[in-house]
Amino acid sequence: MTLAFLIYSYFPYGGQQRDFLRVAMACAQRGHKIIVYTMKWQGEVPEQFEVVKVAAKAWSRHGLYQDFTARVDKLLDARQIDAVIGFNKMPGLDVYFAADPCFAERAQTQRGFYYRFMPRYRHFMKYESAVFGPESATETLLLSPLQRAQFLQHYPQSENRLHDIPPGISKDRLPPENAAEIRAAFRNEFAISDKQLLIATIGSGFVVKGVDRALRAIAALPNDIRQRVRYFIVGQDKELRFRRLAERLAISKHVHFLGGRDDVPRFLLGADLLLHPAYSESAGYVLLEATIAGLPVLTTDTCGYAFHIEKAQAGIVCASPFSQQQLNSQLEYMLRGEGRPVWSANGIAYGQNEDLYSMPETVTAMIEECAVRRNSRIGEK
């Protein structure tokens, strides 16, 4: 088959982008031709892919997306495509991989009433409705029960087109036999003593990941704990506003921005806690990556994969509505308490006993089935 993958932007360190790459590679390994339409590609292009960079132009972000969609429609019309798979919501998709949260839910719960009169709101509602609305035939692949509940609340007619998929965690996140040696070497490299406590936040998109919440929680720690803390932020995003916040909170010396990195498993083994107080996230793969590596997690229930932390008993999930005071107290509890070895052992056991790895293969099979049904409908016409 010839499969068209649509994604606005690709770079190596985004969760959405990693999902796209793993699914597209799995499809390529099944012998399918992969054509990727994107506005921006950062990094190496797999030899199995044909990447078409679409030169969309507009003054606004949503205008850029509209121009991208229009240009891609024309390009697709000129080729024989068996299925169109999108990793962003837009019209014309046969399959949507739900890497983003429900926009209608976020607009209703995180924005003021005035927001609904803005062009940006109208655009994203239109594009989300193109996927989930009653006129759509798009099949959607869901990452978590939280997504299903939110999409069904706003688009109840889409229920028959929603499909749950397992996580797609890479098994290189499992702790190897020499995990203790890797941890010791990592902490030696970054000059972290046994008495110090290393907190990590891993992932691009610092605003959504709640880095501001994390910084405030660290600043609120009692002095005896705060002086032992180092906070590593691993991910590709704009740092300035968060550096300034750390300065205002007088914790700059504790905070280190390390950019996007390819050695994430070392951080999972070398840290003492994953702090991930995200505002909203469809899944949050790093929660599971940390869990199976034995790194205790402190997160929020607005992350799709937060339920895995509770199921595995591998950390603490802060309940909604979010309370900074609750996050502060839970962070102190997890750093001061003696529960980390238990949370760590529970997480490692969870990674050995649950299906957390089969997403790419499962999604590939679903895409193939969808393509067969699509071509059957076209043949009937």
Please provide the size of the chain in residues. Answer: 381
Check whether 58 has a pLDDT greater than 80.
yes
Q: What percent of the chain has pLDDT over 70?
A: 99
Give the pLDDT band of residue 110 (cuts 50, 70, 90).
confident
Read off the pLDDT of residues 269-279 as tens digits, 9 standing for 90 and up.
999 999 999 99
Please tell me whether the peptide bond between 12 and the residue prior to it is cis, using omega within 30 degrees of 0. no
In the predicted model, what is the mean pLDDT of residues 47-63?
A: 96
d(C-alpha 5, C-alpha 93), whole Å: 10
Check whether 379 has a pLDDT greater than 70.
no
Please tell me the predicted confidence (pLDDT) of residue 282. 85
In the predicted model, what is the mean pLDDT of residues 212-234?
A: 98
* C-alpha 232 chain-centroid distance: 19
Please tell me the predicted confidence (pLDDT) of residue 109. 87
Please tell me the predicted confidence (pLDDT) of residue 354. 93
d(C-alpha 137, C-alpha 84), whole Å: 12
In angstroms, what CA-CA distances link 131 with 96, 121, 285, 363? 7, 16, 24, 18
Instruction: Kindly provide the b/e burial profile for residues 25-37, where b requires at least 16 CB atoms within 10 angstroms of the residue's own CB.
Output: bbbbeeebebbbb
Read off the pLDDT of residues 299-333 as tens digits, 9 standing for 90 and up.
999 999 999 999 999 999 999 999 999 999 999 99
Domains by residue range for the chain, with CATH: 2-166+358-380 (3.40.50.2000), 171-353 (3.40.50.2000)
The DSSP secondary-structure symbol of 199 reads: E
Q: Residue 283: name the closest of 19, 107, 86 by CA.
A: 19
